[in-house]
Amino acid sequence: MNPSFDVLGIGLNATDTLLLLPEFPPYAGKIAFSQEILSPGGQVATAMVSCARLGLRARYLGTIGDDLRGKIQRESLDGTGVDVSRLIVREGCPNQTAYILIDQRSGERTVLWQRPDCLRLTPDEIQQDDIVSARMLHLDGYDTAAAAKAAALARENGIPVSLDVDTVYPNFEAVLANVDYLVASSVWPGRWTGDDDPFTALERIQREYGMKVAAMTLGEYGALALSHGKFTYSPAFRVHCEDTTAAGDAFHGGFCYAMLKGLPLRDALDFSNAAAALNCTAIGARGHIGTLQEVSDLIALSEAGKVERHVNQEIAVRSLSWKPSKKHDALSHRAT
């Protein structure tokens, strides 16, 4: 059977309220915001929008509320080319929401969010037909039991699994056991393993769970990945940053595209970093989801010396000189 979609995303969506601040106030301080914007977002939903923008056949499976914010999210997805036939509406339930405070001096943001329990996706809402409808599965793992079932079904059917994770969830081992491409946030590997060194943390995670790629994003410094016994470091692109909201989500959309197209890991990381950078140039989770041409153009400008990269020198040097550890300790930390 030929899959109808290139990528299926299962996970979160949210409708954000963005508050633009001239600067962050001090603790217990007070400041007038310059603008308030209602904006659709959410980790997996935005990654799927990024995939569709890059030309992939993308499908989203997740829950939304039946309130105004849910309606805004649904309408936003309808106009992106993402298939929403498996969008599940929860009656009498508000949609996930976030208040995002954006410092206009730097584009950095602080997120305050809430997701009602009535939005929880359950394992019985994940069907094998959903999984085999696509060539690749992308998860965030928030609804852990449902994500674990989806990942297990994907593994059984030979479908690669990509994972975006930034929080330590209980019983998450069941998800990790069936992941092919882990791209965690900058803090997650250390929190999961209890080891703050990114190199040894990623090494320990890959050794324990056996994923093909164990990677992490590094914010303004790009991304670091371990595959086939070698680390690859890709610095971030320097752009005029308006808002860092959902830069990671755009990165994941780019990474799914790169893996499906069979790009070498270094090229895949560069591509994903470029997609993330473009999304930082405008306000909102989907402020500037780049097209394939725009991502390619940014990479070309960098190769021509017209766009700089933001290099973490320590990470760059260590990635070239790193040798696998001879220790095979079990992970010392688990969420319970």
Burial of 166 (0-12, 13-18, 19+ CB in 10 A): middle
Print the SS3 string covering 245-266: CCHHHHHHHHHHHHHHCCCCHH
CATH numbers and ranges of domains, the chain: 5-321 (3.40.1190.20)
Whether the pLDDT of residue 331 is over 80: the answer is no
pLDDT in tens, 7-33: 999 999 999 899 999 998 888 999 999
Query: How many Å is the maximal CA-CA distance in the chain?
Result: 60
Element spanning 112, H or E: strand 109-114
Q: Cα Rg for the chain, rounded, in angstroms?
A: 19
pLDDT in tens, 121-141: 999 999 999 999 999 999 998
pLDDT band at residue 329 under the 50/70/90 scheme? low
Q: What is the C-alpha to C-alpha distance for residues 275 and 230, in angstroms, rounded to an integer?
A: 24
DSSP tally for the chain: helices H, then strands E: 11, 15
Main-chain phi, psi angles of 54, to 5 degrees: -85, -5
Instruction: Report the sign of the C-alpha dihedral through residues 167, 211, 258, 193, in that order.
Output: positive
Q: 174, 150 in Cβ contact below 8 A?
A: no
pLDDT in tens, 161-210: 999 999 999 999 999 999 999 999 999 999 999 999 999 999 999 999 99
Copy the structure tokens of residue 179. 């992941």
Q: 173-182 b/e with 16+ CB inside 10 Å = b?
A: bebbebbbbb
The DSSP secondary-structure symbol of 120 reads P
Alpha helices in the chain (DSSP H): 43-53, 68-78, 128-131, 144-156, 173-176, 188-193, 198-209, 247-260, 265-279, 292-303, 313-321
Element spanning 126, H or E: none
